[in-house]
Amino acid sequence: MQMLRILFAAAMTMPVAVPAVGYTQEKTNVSSADIAERGLKVSDFPRWKKLKPDIYFYEGLHSPDPDGHIINTGSLIVITTDGVAVLDGQGDVTQTQALVDTIRRLTPQPIKYVIVGSEHGDHTGGNTAFKAAFPNVVFISSPASQKALANKPNPPTETVLDKRVLRMGKTELDILDLGRAHTGGDLVVYLPRSRIMFMSEVYLRGVFPAMRTAYPSEWVKTIEKAQATDATWYIPAHGFVDDPATMKRDLEGARKALMYVIAEGKRLHDAGIPCVPEKLQPGQKPVVCEAVQKANWGPYGNLALRASQQQGAILRVYEELDGKLH
């Protein structure tokens, strides 16, 4: 947390990026994931919110982007009579240890399972803290994420191909692979009794569609599969949690944002406007490509992390259109 405070202070002194040509400051009604938009400070975190008896949404912090914006990183805590399941960890050992300490204050039950919804470092970078606190903890992921994490500390030892029903006491957790989305190894977890679905990074609420390792069109279909379930409360990996109706509405907003970005990427691609991936040297800042300069993000230009994620999104859409994603 001290490192985040230092980063936050430094980030606030950075110049604001100049908007891309064609960018319009039109807004959506989707709540931004930027903590400042909620009047929150770094010192307000970590924090947690009780969703249902023995189910908690825990919020740590993501590192600042180059413009100084900070978003939250969410984990779901499920406490049962047969131990605790944690859905997604945090980005480093310090923040994950704070999550472990919170769980110990909430219950004497041990953490038995950590389910990896997203393999990315902001959700797995502190997993050694789980293992240090509970040596018998089991990490579960998709096969794709298991492969991606194979050389990281404490890689997943169990995988889910399609669906796995995990029963802990009287609590049922349905671990589901609904399709590739933000990482290609995405899992979601559905709690049928409470009708809560933790979507990990399949659902980015108030965040510009981050596609560095995404499968753009498949991501849209994966969200649609989640929407077709009987879940009433959709929980994101980034972005704040409000009432169920608002979360459901903003999941549709996230789907529409994805479709808009894909369509804008296709427009730029069809116009032959280039965006060539760079091989950066350490410390070298990326140069905004021509396609980004000519992009018009319409109502989604105000979403958190746009400046840092827009070029990666265009590149990934281009790769999909060129048949390079497999």
Phi, psi of 310 (to 5 degrees): -65, -40
Q: How many domains does the chain divide into?
A: 1
The answer as to whether 241 is a domain residue is: yes
Query: pLDDT band at 66, cuts 50/70/90?
Result: confident
Helix (H) or strand (E) holding 143: helix 143-148
Indicate the pLDDT class of residue 285, thresholds 50, 70 and 90.
confident
* pLDDT band at residue 18 using 50, 70 and 90 as cut-offs: very low
84 within some domain? yes
Looking at this protein, which amino acid is placed at residue 44? D
Cα 300 from Cα 283, distance rounded (Å): 29
On whether the CB atoms of residues 116 and 85 are closer than 8 A, the answer is no
Pairing of strands 163-168, 138-141: unpaired
For residues 290 and 276, give the distance between their C-alpha atoms in angstroms, rounded to a whole number.
9
When the pLDDT of each residue in the chain is averaged and rounded to a whole number, the result is 91
Please tell me the predicted confidence (pLDDT) of residue 27: 53
3-state secondary structure at position 281: coil
pLDDT of residue 280: 64
Pairwise CA distance, residues 56 & 109, whole Å:
15
Query: Is position 105 within any domain?
Result: yes
Q: What is the pLDDT of residue 11?
A: 36
Q: Out of 194-198, 302-306, 315-319, which region has the weakest mean confidence (pLDDT)?
A: 302-306
pLDDT (tens digit per residue) in 153-169: 999 999 999 999 999 99
Give pLDDT, residue 232: 98
Residue 262: closest CA among 303, 293, 217: 217
Report yes or no on 316 lying in a domain: no
pLDDT at 110: 98
Strand partners, 191: 196
| Residue from 161, 131, 165 nearest 143 by CA | 161
Q: Is the pLDDT of residue 174 over 90?
A: yes
What pLDDT sits at residue 26?
A: 45
Domain-located, residue 286 = no
pLDDT confidence of residue 262: 98
Q: Is the pLDDT of residue 1 over 50?
A: no
Is the pLDDT confidence value at 64 over 70?
A: yes
Q: Give the CATH number, domain containing residue 53.
A: 3.60.15.10
Domain that holds residue 133: 2-20+30-263
pLDDT score for 5: 41
**Residue 7 forms part of a structural domain:** yes
* Closest by Cα among 45, 102, 62 to 79: 102
Position 221 pLDDT exceeds 80: yes
Question: So what's the pLDDT on residue 30?
Answer: 72
State yes or no: pLDDT of 112 exceeds 60.
yes
The answer as to whether 113 is a domain residue is yes
The whole-number pLDDT of residue 6 equals 40
Residue 270 has pLDDT above 70, yes or no: yes
Domain presence at residue 285: no
Q: Which of 22, 14, 68, 17 is nearest to 290 (CA)?
A: 22
**Range 50-74 average pLDDT:** 95
Looking at residue 21, what is its pLDDT?
A: 36
User: Could you read off the pLDDT of 197-213 as tens digits, one per residue?
Assistant: 999 999 999 999 999 99
Separation between Cα atoms, residue 176 and residue 120, nearest integer Å: 18
For position 25, what pLDDT does the model report?
40
Task: Sort 15 into a burial class: Cβ within 10 Å, 0-12 / 13-18 / 19+.
Answer: exposed
